[in-house]
Amino acid sequence: MTDVPVITVDGPSGSGKGTVSQQLAVSLGWHYLDSGAIYRALAYAAKQAGLKLNKDKEKIVSLALALKLVFKPTADGGADVLLAGTDISSSIRTEECGAMASKLAADGDIRAALLQRQRGFRQPPGLVADGRDMGTVVFPDATHKFFLTASAQIRAERRYKQLKDKGINDSIPRLFTVISKRDARDAGRTNSPMTPAADAIVLDTSEMSLEQVIGYVRQQVGYQSL
């Protein structure tokens, strides 16, 4: 499937990569991969099964390989996340689930177990993939690579609004702390650390509106008319 084009959008939480990727995928009529949701779903399933990383690592790897995960596309370009038929879309969005996902995601064997699943999303006519290592590890031959950043304060504020829209109540200072901790873990790990690919365009979105970011990305990709 290497002739199927891929656009990767990596970056820390709250950088806007999810919304930008979704909207880009809708404009292009391409598939969309929210790779973070896979890590979150695994963390959720591991917790449900009472598995702990420090003592059940092999079981978590087996769970990762066998995870009955389905993404059901929604009208806004996103997807409902179904685990063995149960909709877990909201349950996996909490920062607690994000932190658990980040701990599992630091393990090389767990990442390896999820690799082919992610590459399987590369289907015609194309794929927009968002995550931390889309441009560096999962789709190193992507057509276009972006790495979106924003200040930690702005990212915490965006996350707060995002969660509120999903009916989850949190506070900006608390989100600032947990997000900063999660990003430090994601950037500092040995296996597939969150870092821009050498050929990625790095964009600081702190002072940009969503429309401006999408406009910029479209321009770079060469689909301005969409």
How many positions of this chain bind ligand C5P (CB under 6 A)? 15
Q: Considering only residues 46, 105, 110, 152, which one is a binding residue for ligand C5P as defined by CB under 6 A?
A: 105
Q: How far is the CB of 224 from ligand C5P (least distance, A)?
A: 27
Q: Which residue, 165 or 219, is less far from ligand C5P as judged by CB?
A: 165
Radius of gyration of the chain (CA): 17
E strand residue ranges, the chain: 6-10, 31-34, 69-73, 79-83, 86-87, 127-131, 144-149, 201-204
- Residue 61 makes CB contacts below 8 A (sequence gap 6+) with 109, 110, 113
Q: Which is nearer to ligand C5P, 42 or 222 (CB)?
A: 42
Determine if 31 is a binding residue for ligand C5P (CB under 6 A). no
Give bridge partners of residue 72 from the DSSP assignment: 80
Residue 13 is a binding residue for ligand C5P (CB under 6 A): yes
Chain centre to alpha carbon of residue 54: 24
Cβ(53)–Cβ(59) under 8 Å? Answer: no
Residues 154-193, one symbol each (x = binds ligand C5P by CB under 6 A, - = not), give ----------------------------x---x-------
Please say which residue, 5 or 135, places its beta carbon nearer to ligand C5P: 135
Q: What is the largest distance, in Å, between two alpha-carbon atoms of the chain?
A: 53
From the CB of 105, what's the least distance to ligand C5P, in Å? 3
The residue whose Cβ lies closest to ligand C5P is: 36
Find the length of the chain: 226
Residues that bind ligand C5P (CB under 6 A): 13, 35-36, 39-40, 98, 101-102, 105, 131-134, 182, 186
